[in-house]
Amino acid sequence: MRLGKLKGWLVLFSALALFATACGSSATEVVGNATDAAEDAVDAGVDAVDGDDDAMDDDDAMDGDDDAMEEGDHSGGLALEGSVEIATGTTLNLAECPDDWDPLQGVDGDEIRIGQSLPQSGALASFGAIGEGMEMYFDFINDTDPIAGKDLVLVARDDGYEAGRAVANVEEMIDSDDIFAFAHVIGTPINLAIRPITDEACVPQLFNSSGFPFWGDPANFPWTVGNILNYVTETEIWCSSVIEDFGEGATVAALIMNNDFGKTYQNTLNSSPACAGVDVVSEQLHDPAGADVTNEMTTLIATDADVLVAGTTSKFCSQTTAVMAGVEWRPRIYMSYTCNNLSSFFSPVIDAAATLSADDAGPWMANSNKICGDDAYASDPKIIEVERILNDYGSVTCADGSYSTGVLYGEFLVDVLRSASEMEGGLNRVNLMAATWNADTSNDTLLGGTLKLDGTDDAYWTEGAQLQAVIVDDAGNLTFEPKGDFVDFEGQGGSFG
Amino acid sequence: MELLINRVFDGLSNGATYALLAMALVMIFKATTLINFAQGEFAMFGGFIVMVLVLEQGLPVWIGVIVGMILSAVLAAVIERTLIRPFDPADHLPLVIITLGLFLAINAIAGIVWRFDPRAFPEMFPSGNVFTYGNASLSWYTVGTMVTIAVVAGGLTLLLNKTKIGLAFRAVSSNLESSELVGIRVGPTLQFGWAIAAAVGTLGVAVFVASPVRQLEPQVMVTGLIFAVSAAALGGLDSLGGAIAGGLAIGLVQSIVVPYLGVPSELSLFAAVAVLMLVLLFKPAGLFGTAAVERV
Amino acid sequence: MNATDNVMLDVKGLRGGYGAIQVLHGLDFHVMEGEIVVILGANGAGKTTTLRAISGMIERTGAITVAGEAVGSAKAPDIVRKGVAHVPQGRGTLPELSVEDNLRVGAFIRKDDEVDSDMDQWFEAYPVLRERKNQRAGSLSGGEQQMLAVARALMSRPRLLLLDEPSLGLAPIIVSDLFERFAEINKETGTTMLVVEQNAQLALGIAARGYVLESGEIFTEGPADELIDDDAIRKAYLGI
Amino acid sequence: MAAGTPMFTIEKGSAQYRAYRILGFALLALLIFIVAFAFNDTGSITLFDNDYKLSITRVTKAISFMVAILGLQVVAGFTGQLSLGQGFFFGTGAYLSAWLVADHGWNWFATLAVVVPVCFLLGLLFGVPALRIKGLYLALVTLGLAAIFPSLILLDILEPYTGGAAGKQVDSDLKPPGWLPLDGTVDLLNKLPVFGQYFGEGSGLSSKQEQRVWTFFLMVVLALVCFKMVNNLVKSRPGRAMRAVRDNETSAAVNGISLSYHKTMSFGVASALGGVGGMVYVAELGIASQGDFTQLLSILFIVGLVVGGVGTLSGAVIGGLVIAFIPDWASSTRGFPGLPERWLQGPTGGLILGIGLIVLTFVLPGGVIVGIRKIRDRIVRIIPRPPVIPGQHDLSDADAFNSPATAATV
């Protein structure tokens, strides 16, 4: 049979080609690892020096803490029993915590054990990179300036964005992974599902990544704190900008991802007073697991509205940009800031981005922080540091995914952990919540504003943003161009409900 | 009017991909009366091979596509030989399970090797439009996809009707025992079917993500497969022509029927399944199918 | 041409069956080159199984030699290449394929360029096949399909043709000229034939010798005319 | 059946046979008891310095899967209708009971009064196309069914009932009755020499843990009831009729068995069981979220069906455990000898499952259960009491005494 004859060389040929392919993809890494190893060595040397004396300070500090510990509450630190008011309208009812509850769980050793459940598989698996970025930052902190001399450890589990798996993960971690606190659990259903568990177990659940507004509710859920600029605020920023530039009754066409995430944009557009002035002429919901949005976009294009709102994320950011570049319709595009990872979502469609930017129609986003990989900040010391951390501790760059977001979120966490460890009584769950609900800090990655919390008076973390448009500069690089000033809602959010 | 034209073009270009994947499914079904649930993942994986060849190894795009097709064909042939042939072709359940296993495994491997961020894919057709009429425009891409399925369909028909291996393939799909009695080696013939199917599938995904609008990522075919099997079943699982008709039909249902009936856009998958169910209720072997698929 | 003294098919201690069930309990028989031999026997005696064993459709043990060449444990596709063509029970056609393709696939193992001329011969002999050459084989009548099956088998230019119940389900009139046709083919092409047949009368009519099978063993054997005259056999097997 | 001569040979219906069965059930009961209290604190298995968690929450989740797979056994295993849509009914059951409990303050088990009939009717509804749509076509349609479930849940008209995209949260735990000495029991167990350590840290049970243990017990009972009912079903006349349909539709029809009736019925039963599984799921996890009920879940159910063993009730037990544990265990593997770390990520779960599935199809085509039986037959062999009553000594019948025994072997 002819096939028989063919087979021989086909197999040979393919084997070779496959080999070639394999090398092709792995080559870069090999190099990466090599250089990276070298740099590690160097850094290690450098870090060792300052690392040491830091450690020294911390040790002193820690001894102090320990003494305080032994005397327990007498030391005047926050009580570790009964009901403790830790911030405005925010009370921890420790009496209702489990009998075996220990405020020092997960920090009594030489580690600070942080738990995390996030999608590493399934349709939203690309979020997994955030966790990895966080871990890289933890390693960096452990090397350079450990918190109270302890090692930050991240225990991350895959939940495939399934609430069911997340619940099991979290319960198991609380039971047997000696978790001190949870951080940056991703997704609204997931966080809703685990909040009762962490709350009942009196385990802090910090900076969860969900844009639903109801994470700022310390009166009822003092153990749970939100993180990102919530999508309601974001949408309201868009709406005010729309009304400012296009007047009342401006027409809006909306592309909405059909899940908790997209639906928040949809609901805000339709029901928020701030958006009362805009006229939503068409809403197209698309399947998060779907392959593309061409059909939905075609319908939206036909509306010829003043504004296109893209309440979607990941590959669909790229798709929306690409579709818009292909048609004559040039509305103002407002895109979710979850699309703001230029290298992940715009590099693949840079030509389309250039087309739009040439027509001054690049998508606008309400960004809260500088984007690693944005040419504009190439020389920004903070961004350079982030790139260095990613390279040294993960041999990745900002271009490889959402790792830099992980670093930023890691910084938030380390910030509050540090201030908790400096409080009287040292690092324990009560102090951590107190430190968090009274946080007053800032971060060089932010475009502006502050990171303040004040119990029920100000229960939202990231509250400032600046509208920026994606453009391709003369050098042909992707970058954000500021549109209008930095809007700071600090403190105005109050608390949920 | 412009809207309608655009919708038709959307439907055609989406439908073309479903049609290509559906043809792949049909090739395997004709030979084995089996649905390869991993077909979509085979194709996705082939797509990544093409991407590596073109973007990382620097091959010209069409060369890359063809090499990629050959590679995935060989991979499929190997898989057929090692994982499929050991089983009795008449007993479908183990085979269905094997393909489900492949579905899970291949998707995971792609995720591990290439991660989940969308990847740019080289354009296979000239960019820009053949003509533009207001917001309605016929892109070279759409034309390209239509030409591609025409070529593939023509090629497969020639292959099946004018070559010896094609004759053997048709004989095996018609009657296994008689085929052996005329000296046809059944194993390699079915293997040939799997190889061709994989190649066609790879081309399908390549064409799909070569759209300026889409990118390549491991999940690209997870729902794509549902549309493709709907298309294949709609046309009748054993008819190549049917697969094309089915694919275009599903594509058009999505892009035209759904919006004009005021069905919420998020239900387009539902619409596809509903159409499939209706058709099968009245024509249990699909529109152009001959086989009565009895057992699984 | 007539039977020479070369043995075309030699079978020794043939055992075989389906899975655990053994049907053949050690058959010894042979067919001379150019000879027509018939195997008789009641239903379930193992006639069909014998042919399937020879053509490699089932697992079997024992020695099978075709034209002095041991077949060993070869499977069907290889045995065809040794010159053994098998027309299985109930037509061996490929119903979805056209008549022409059926003939073409019959010549699948051939590398020579006389395939088309052979096909033309069959079209000459059976104009009906030419008329229907583009129709699906399944659309032919029973007799036509049986003839097509035989033609398809002979397209491989076999040295030995195995015919399994060619008369099954055919009208008597058709059956008789079918058998005449077999006789002609045997004379014209010298193709050796091993025929399994219920209709012993007819089969012995064209056969030189016959074997009678009973529950997987050779019960008796002999020249066709003797078997016809043997009263016991007439009663037991020929239903006369 | 198995090679080698067994240590014991027991004749069916004899005294030893009854003893054997009682032993089997006793083992099962003991196992359940141990699991309940051993896992009140998450246990873990350590392998290549990865520790794999074993919590009662996950075990209860596995039970919900077992019930769903039991349903697949009825429709696919015993009636031969390959349904890839079980996730649809699982989700329906989950959302229905979540809605009734959260918005109408029903008791979890009371919701079954709605869940079972609704899912049963839905099942019948989809059984009807199955009359005309055969084999693979049916598999495809049902797969599509599973695929569209999430988008249906998100429809605006349903949002008030389903909680839309945020999921339907229910905080109504099953509180153990006060008189039940769960806490005391665990204290007793803690006092056990040697084994004591495996039952919590001696701090007794927190209220949360008591709830988990209690829920586990209730769900086990529910599951046992389901298994018993299905077991009776498959032994009954309709059950034999279903298998006849599976083995050969035509001959079944010839023997006066109504194909349409038995097919639709089996779909109904399967779907009802799917719904029950969904209720167990949401009762344990406290939220119904559309992301949990994608077509992947339906595929996992089929995986469980096959891994456990098609057409065997005890196969469903193993299948449930496998799909509840393996994916997460695989993805929580952090280090494995000879494997680069980038191969140990989230997707690894799918990889292991896929490969495992393929390997299993080669080495144990009948599913894990077959292997277990082979082992069991080395020890005990059941011989039918002569004379065999026709149609008595068959798969499902054999299963009646296997299920406890095997469950105990797990």
Q: Are C34 and C40 in contact (CB under 8 A)?
A: no
pLDDT average, residue stretch A239-255: 94
Residue B291 has pLDDT above 70, yes or no: no
* E strand or H helix at B229: helix B222-235
Residue D189 has pLDDT above 80, yes or no: no
pLDDT at A112: 94
Inspect the interface and report whether the beta carbons of A193 and D169 lie closer than 8 Å: yes
pLDDT at D381: 74
Q: Which residues of A304-323 are buried (b: 16+ CB within 10 A; e: fewer)?
A: ebbbbbbbbbbbbbbbbbbb
**What are the two backbone dihedrals, phi and then psi, of residue C93, each rounded to the nearest 5 degrees?**
-85, 170
Measured distance CA(A174)–CA(A371) in Å, rounded? 34
Note whether B touches A: 3 CB pairs or more under 8 A: yes
Write the DSSP assignment of D210-225 as a string of letters.
HHHHHHHHHHHHHHHH
Residues of the domain holding D24: 1-38+367-410
Would an 8 Å CB–CB cutoff place D164 in contact with chain A? yes
Sort residue C51 into left (φ over 0), alpha (ψ -120 to 50) or beta: alpha
pLDDT average, residue stretch A91-96: 90
Token pair recorded at residue B196: 């061709």
- Which sign does the torsion angle of CA A143, A144, A147, A148 carry? positive
Query: Of A33-37, A268-272, C4-8, D370-374, which gets the smallest average pLDDT?
Result: A33-37
Question: Is D29 found in the same domain as D52?
Answer: no
Measured distance CA(D132)–CA(B292) in Å, rounded? 11
pLDDT at C239: 55
| pLDDT-derived band at A314, boundaries 50, 70, 90 | confident
Token pair recorded at residue B248: 């275009």
Token pair recorded at residue A60: 């002193």
pLDDT average, residue stretch A355-382: 90
pLDDT average, residue stretch D309-321: 90
List Cβ neighbours of A185 (8 Å cut-off, separation of 6 or more). Answer: A116, A117, A118, A166, A170, A191, A194, A205, A208, A209
Residue B243: HSE in the Cβ half-sphere, 13 Å Cα cutoff: 31
Smallest Cβ distance to B174: which of C97, C106, C153?
C97
A441/chain D closest Cα distance in angstroms: 31
Question: Is D77 found in the same domain as D156?
Answer: yes
pLDDT average, residue stretch D291-302: 90
Note whether D touches A: 3 CB pairs or more under 8 A: yes
| pLDDT-derived band at D73, boundaries 50, 70, 90 | very high
Measured distance CA(B258)–CA(B264) in Å, rounded? 7
D317/chain A closest Cα distance in angstroms: 19
- Compare all CA atoms of chain B with the CA of A119 and give the residue at the minimum distance: B116
pLDDT at A72: 41
Residue B66 has pLDDT above 80, yes or no: yes
Token pair recorded at residue A492: 């105005």
| pLDDT-derived band at D41, boundaries 50, 70, 90 | low
Tally of CB atoms within 10 A around D181: 11
Measured distance CA(B22)–CA(B230) in Å, rounded? 8
Token pair recorded at residue D383: 């011989």
Q: What is the CATH number of the domain that holds D328?
A: 1.10.3470
DSSP 3-state assignment of A243? helix
Tally of CB atoms within 10 A around D160: 10
Would an 8 Å CB–CB cutoff place B278 in contact with chain D? no
Q: What is the mean pLDDT of chain A?
A: 82
For residue D74, the 8-state DSSP code is: I
Measured distance CA(D335)–CA(D339) in Å, rounded? 7
Residue A7 has pLDDT above 60, yes or no: no
- Compare all CA atoms of chain B with the CA of D81 and give the residue at the minimum distance: B296
Question: Is D372 found in the same domain as D252?
Answer: no
List Cβ neighbours of D294 (8 Å cut-off, separation of 6 or more). Answer: A289, D87, D146, D147, D149, D150
Residue D167 has pLDDT above 50, yes or no: yes
The residue out of D288, D321, D336 marking a domain boundary is: D336
Rounded-to-10 torsion of CA D139, D144, D149, D151: 170
pLDDT at A232: 87
D111/chain A closest Cα distance in angstroms: 20
Q: Are A429 and A105 in contact (CB under 8 A)?
A: yes
For residue D298, the 8-state DSSP code is: H
Closest CA to A290 of B277, B99, D89, B226: B226
Question: Is D158 found in the same domain as D80?
Answer: yes
C97/chain B closest Cα distance in angstroms: 7
Helix D313-331 × helix D395-409 angle, to 10°: 40
Measured distance CA(D357)–CA(D352) in Å, rounded? 8
Distances (CA, A) of D55 to A116, A408, B294, D289: 17, 33, 43, 21
Inspect the interface and report whether the beta carbons of D151 and B270 lie closer than 8 Å: yes
Q: Are D295 and D146 in contact (CB under 8 A)?
A: yes
Question: Is D163 found in the same domain as D310?
Answer: yes
Rounded-to-10 torsion of CA D348, D351, D357, D360: -80
% of chain A exceeding 90 in pLDDT: 42
How many beta-carbon pairs under 8 angstroms link B with D? 153
pLDDT at D343: 63
- Compare all CA atoms of chain C with the CA of B164 and give the residue at the minimum distance: C108
Question: Is D7 found in the same domain as D50?
Answer: no
% of chain A exceeding 70 in pLDDT: 84
A363: preceding bond cis by omega (within 30 degrees):
no
Inspect the interface and report whether the beta carbons of B266 and D143 lie closer than 8 Å: no
Structural domain includes residue D186: no
Would an 8 Å CB–CB cutoff place B111 in contact with chain D? yes
pLDDT average, residue stretch B269-283: 83
Q: What is the mean pLDDT of chain D?
A: 81
Inspect the interface and report whether the beta carbons of B183 and C80 lie closer than 8 Å: yes
Total structural domains within chain D? 2
Token pair recorded at residue C21: 């069930």
Token pair recorded at residue B154: 């023509």
pLDDT at D202: 57
Domain boundaries, chain B: 15-125+133-221
- On chain D, the residues whose CB falls within 8 A of the CB of B227 are none
* E strand or H helix at A93: strand A90-93
For residue A331, the 8-state DSSP code is: P
Structural domain includes residue D159: yes
Question: Is D374 found in the same domain as D399?
Answer: yes
List Cβ neighbours of D218 (8 Å cut-off, separation of 6 or more). Answer: D109, D174
pLDDT at D268: 93
Burial label, D240 (beta-carbon count in 10 A; 0-12, 13-18, 19+): middle
Smallest Cβ distance to C88: which of B168, B181, B183?
B181
Residue type, B56: E
Measured distance CA(A174)–CA(A203) in Å, rounded? 8
> Which D positions 41-60 lie with beta carbon below 8 A of chain A?
41-44, 51, 53, 55, 57-58
- Which sign does the torsion angle of CA D386, D389, D391, D396 carry? negative
Closest CA to A484 of A269, A242, A255: A242
The residue out of D279, D314, D336 marking a domain boundary is: D336
Token pair recorded at residue B8: 């038709």
The residue out of D289, D313, D336 marking a domain boundary is: D336
- Domains of chain A with CATH codes: 58-228+379-455 (3.40.50.2300), 231-367+465-488 (3.40.50.2300)
- On chain B, the residues whose CB falls within 8 A of the CB of D298 are none
Structural domain includes residue D111: yes
Question: Is D210 found in the same domain as D96?
Answer: yes
Question: Is D69 found in the same domain as D28?
Answer: no
C190/chain B closest Cα distance in angstroms: 20
End-to-end CA distance of chain C: 32
Question: Is D314 found in the same domain as D389?
Answer: no
Would an 8 Å CB–CB cutoff place C57 in contact with chain B? yes
- Compare all CA atoms of chain A with the CA of B71 and give the residue at the minimum distance: A14
Residue D193 has pLDDT above 70, yes or no: no
How many beta-carbon pairs under 8 angstroms link A with D? 130
Residue A306 has pLDDT above 90, yes or no: yes
D371/chain B closest Cα distance in angstroms: 17
Question: Is D107 found in the same domain as D58?
Answer: yes
Write the DSSP assignment of A106-160 as a string of letters.
TTSSSEEEEEEEE-SSSTTGGGHHHHHHHHHHHHHHHHHS-BTTBEEEEEEEE-T
Chains contacting C (3 or more CB pairs within 8 Å): B
Residue type, D40: N
Place of tokens 């491991």: B218
Smallest Cβ distance to B171: which of C57, C88, C94?
C94
Measured distance CA(B94)–CA(C18) in Å, rounded? 22
| pLDDT-derived band at D393, boundaries 50, 70, 90 | very low
Note whether D touches C: 3 CB pairs or more under 8 A: no
Question: Is D251 found in the same domain as D169?
Answer: yes
Smallest Cβ distance to D358: which of B98, B285, B296?
B98
Measured distance CA(D397)–CA(D350) in Å, rounded? 35
pLDDT average, residue stretch A292-321: 91
Looking at the predicted complex, does its ipTM rise above 0.85? no
Tally of CB atoms within 10 A around C189: 15
Burial label, B142 (beta-carbon count in 10 A; 0-12, 13-18, 19+): buried
Which strands sit side by side in the sheet containing A205-208, from one edge to the other? Answer: A151-158, A111-118, A181-183, A205-208, A224-226
pLDDT at D345: 64
pLDDT at D204: 65
| pLDDT-derived band at B188, boundaries 50, 70, 90 | very high
Q: Which residues of A108-138 are buried (b: 16+ CB within 10 A; e: fewer)?
A: eeeebbbbbbbbbbbbbbbbbbbbbbbbbbb
Q: Are D279 and D115 in contact (CB under 8 A)?
A: yes
Q: Are A401 and A412 in contact (CB under 8 A)?
A: no
Structural domain includes residue D124: yes
Measured distance CA(B217)–CA(B107) in Å, rounded? 10
- On chain A, the residues whose CB falls within 8 A of the CB of D44 are 176
Burial label, A163 (beta-carbon count in 10 A; 0-12, 13-18, 19+): buried
Inspect the interface and report whether the beta carbons of D144 and B102 lie closer than 8 Å: no
Closest CA to A390 of A376, A379, A404: A404
Residue D395 has pLDDT above 80, yes or no: no
Q: Are B243 and B197 in contact (CB under 8 A)?
A: no
Q: What's the average pLDDT block by block, 10 residues per block, for chain C (240 residues)? A: 69 86 89 91 86 90 89 88 89 85 91 88 86 87 86 91 86 85 88 88 87 86 84 64
Chains contacting A (3 or more CB pairs within 8 Å): B, D
Residue type, B8: V
Residue A320 has pLDDT above 50, yes or no: yes
C59/chain B closest Cα distance in angstroms: 15
